Structure 1
């Protein structure tokens, strides 16, 4: 990149193409659309280590995106030591390269992994370079709310101070939900004037509604005649999985559950039943992006979950894929979170408290018994998606932000 060029998007992110995890998919997709809209895009990222392990060349152009794979290890993410080593080597590369980089183009980064933004904000402040911070999830506040750490812990207190410092050093803050903006107002109220809400997104060219009866995935697994409830994606730190496991174990008549994905909370899902003996349940690993449309449309309703007390901490991106697929949402989430707001405002499903297994079963049975209601809610979700959450729409918002930064 050269100083002075307009419409430049410079992103530093650990995960990117060719990895096929949520954050990599989101930003690879966004960058591709920005290129189509005449934005010059450059990305610094680590070597792939999540779904792909073949080391990439130092530089690669993909869909017009100029990708720089910084020196880093790419141990499989299945082991904590490997993940930490990958992050440490990537962070060192970012520090060395960014310190000696002479460009003045604003730097965009996000909160995954959580200390990357802190590092970049400090370097940008030293170099008097604009820094835009995209808040995808909030650390260490989320860990505190989960009870995993104490807010009195010296390290946690220092982490919070460094995080607030990064927020203050930013030229712009991007939050992905109204509840996250509310959180921001409680920790950094003066930062609201430089904050924009730009939601997450999904590619409407990748996911479109498909009739259940003709769905290849349904035919492959012989699920015709069953009422299918699906959960697709990460079963991660923020997700409520115990309640979903309890619902499966209740063996509701002619209701079949498909779970596609994995993560650290998968065992919480499985602890309520024996996977070998449970006849109404299918568990599959993460699938490639090529199969995403068939998978997301292979159900009558789809699930999204967020643990109690995590309002403002995270917004699970899977809801946008569900809406794109045109199926009703059952959101097992707190009442005052972005997911709940969307589902209620768009009338595209039901909101159930995270620990309410009976409420979850009731929502499933309501949708099971009323085909017209399912069609209406699925249509409402798809319409709202097309109006607000396609990648093209969100890419325009990012382009406007880029142009605003250029004028300053």
Structure 2
């Protein structure tokens, strides 16, 4: 039997961290173990900013998780709303990963994602050079395009430098893998008439065997609803990162108009936000100031509880801020479709997930910042019979089972890497 090729993955976060990219990379790595000998370089568990004491005594920690070798880097703790502490944390990972590259032996392939922005790509180039390996650059989000879209920085020098460095990483890659048709176009537009790096599209996924529809009477779903005050309510849920790229600060102002809303059968309409992120405190403050008893905030859920939290929502948000089309693809959609839930999409026309919602028929959508249409969508869902909502959600599940399963995407990754 031929010896397996060796694949090094740079992953800012990896399980047990709850970052969506960390979960995807875990399933990707474990799903390709029949083809590759895989090592992951990542940080110690720290997605929410704090670090357990057992990870504070050494610079590096070696583990093996489900057959994947994992080399963890100790990084400083951080506060998500403090830019300086976040930068220190990210740089701790970047320079730690560069040093850790010398601890993992010979590699045939180096795989890096676009997180942290710009630095993820540069790590891949570094690994390619140090290991004399083929470099696969997986772009989940384009930067500086994303930075520009949300106005995080307007410094032209910084933005120009970011673009130069990320184009540099693209050009040095042997293959770029993006996660949406609109992201492929963004890569092509970056290079215009010049030589575009080799690129393929492979959709993200969620494990459809782990996340699937449950009956409303399921004990886990009932317990979740009771625990967080959702019992006997009509729940419109947002699940995921409560961060900069989703326009949630304005969407909550629309939600305010539904303070006393009920469905046709008299259920109170509740808007539940499950997760954490850089603007959570702002939303909490707005809820308190406006006394919004129709808004609830629920902590991030462990992966084992995700099936219950997703099934506890009657309708789910899938939103992006204006300007994110072609820049980022909200992976949360795959979990919503897997759970068989109807989707209220606030997404630019032509974006990957808007196309998926339209094609599968599992929800309604409108353009970001079109608050009148967002309000109209909420009214439509509130006034739709539950049986019709379930049919809508079922369409998303059926489409996912046909075209967007984990096994299909993971197999494509392995095939494309082995072609290099």
Q: Give TM-score, length-normalised by structure 2.
A: 0.87
Is the Cα–Cα contact under 8 Å of residues 32 and 414 in structure 2 kept in the other structure?
yes
Out of 230, 233, 248, the position equivalent to 1:241 is 248
Give the equivalent residue in structure 1 for 2:144: 140
Is the Cα–Cα contact under 8 Å of residues 150 and 244 in structure 2 kept in the other structure?
no
Is the Cα–Cα contact under 8 Å of residues 10 and 42 in structure 1 kept in the other structure?
yes
Aligned residues: 399
Out of 391, 394, 416, the position equivalent to 1:379 is 394
Give the equivalent residue in structure 1 for 2:47: 50
2:27 equivalent to 1:29? yes
> Deviations along 1:153-211, whole A, 9 cap, x unmatched?
22321221111111000000001111111111111255656101111111123211112
- Provide the C-alpha distance between the structure 2 equivalents of 1:213 and 1:104, rounded to a whole number of angstroms: 50
Out of 196, 199, 202, the position equivalent to 1:195 is 199
Out of 186, 189, 201, the position equivalent to 1:186 is 189
User: Does the C-alpha gap of structure 1 residues 377 and 39 become closer, same or farther in structure 2, counting only changes over 3 Å?
Assistant: farther
Give the equivalent residue in structure 2 for 1:16: 14
2:299 equivalent to 1:285? yes
Counterpart secondary structure, 1:92: helix
Out of 195, 210, 214, the position equivalent to 2:214 is 210
2:357 equivalent to 1:343? yes
Out of 169, 175, 178, the position equivalent to 1:166 is 169
2:234 equivalent to 1:227? yes
Give the equivalent residue in structure 2 for 1:66: 69
User: Does the C-alpha gap of structure 1 residues 271 and 351 become closer, same or farther in structure 2, counting only changes over 3 Å?
Assistant: farther
- Provide the C-alpha distance between the structure 2 equivalents of 1:350 and 1:286, rounded to a whole number of angstroms: 26
Counterpart secondary structure, 1:293: helix
> Deviations along 1:83-103, whole A, 9 cap, x unmatched?
322322322232234368662
- CA displacement at 1:261 relative to structure 2: 0.9
2:45 equivalent to 1:41? no
Is the Cα–Cα contact under 8 Å of residues 48 and 74 in structure 1 kept in the other structure?
no
Is the Cα–Cα contact under 8 Å of residues 209 and 326 in structure 1 kept in the other structure?
yes
- Decide which moves more: 54-63 or 132-141: 54-63
- Provide the C-alpha distance between the structure 2 equivalents of 1:122 and 1:58, rounded to a whole number of angstroms: 21
- Decide which moves more: 50-59 or 330-339: 50-59
Give the equivalent residue in structure 1 for 2:328: 314
Is the Cα–Cα contact under 8 Å of residues 239 and 265 in structure 1 kept in the other structure?
no
- CA displacement at 1:358 relative to structure 2: 2.9
- CA displacement at 1:123 relative to structure 2: 5.1
User: Does the C-alpha gap of structure 1 residues 284 and 90 become closer, same or farther in structure 2, counting only changes over 3 Å?
Assistant: same
Is the Cα–Cα contact under 8 Å of residues 243 and 356 in structure 1 kept in the other structure?
no
Is the Cα–Cα contact under 8 Å of residues 110 and 134 in structure 2 kept in the other structure?
yes
Is the Cα–Cα contact under 8 Å of residues 15 and 46 in structure 1 kept in the other structure?
yes
Gaps of 5+ in 1: none
> Deviations along 1:242-292, whole A, 9 cap, x unmatched?
342023201233311111112123355456543683221211121211211
Counterpart secondary structure, 1:53: coil
- CA displacement at 1:44 relative to structure 2: 1.1
- CA displacement at 1:38 relative to structure 2: 4.8
Is the Cα–Cα contact under 8 Å of residues 44 and 75 in structure 2 kept in the other structure?
yes
Is the Cα–Cα contact under 8 Å of residues 11 and 40 in structure 2 kept in the other structure?
yes
Is the Cα–Cα contact under 8 Å of residues 108 and 131 in structure 2 kept in the other structure?
no
Counterpart secondary structure, 2:246: coil
Q: CA RMSD in A?
A: 2.4
Counterpart secondary structure, 2:317: strand
Give the equivalent residue in structure 1 for 2:409: 394
- Provide the C-alpha distance between the structure 1 equivalents of 2:96 and 2:228, rounded to a whole number of angstroms: 45
Counterpart secondary structure, 1:49: coil
Q: Give TM-score, length-normalised by structure 1.
A: 0.90
Is the Cα–Cα contact under 8 Å of residues 245 and 271 in structure 1 kept in the other structure?
no
- Provide the C-alpha distance between the structure 2 equivalents of 1:282 and 1:162, rounded to a whole number of angstroms: 41
Give the equivalent residue in structure 1 for 2:77: 75
Counterpart secondary structure, 2:341: coil
Question: After the TM superposition, which parts of structure 1 deviate over 6 Å for at least 4 consecutive aligned residues?
Answer: none
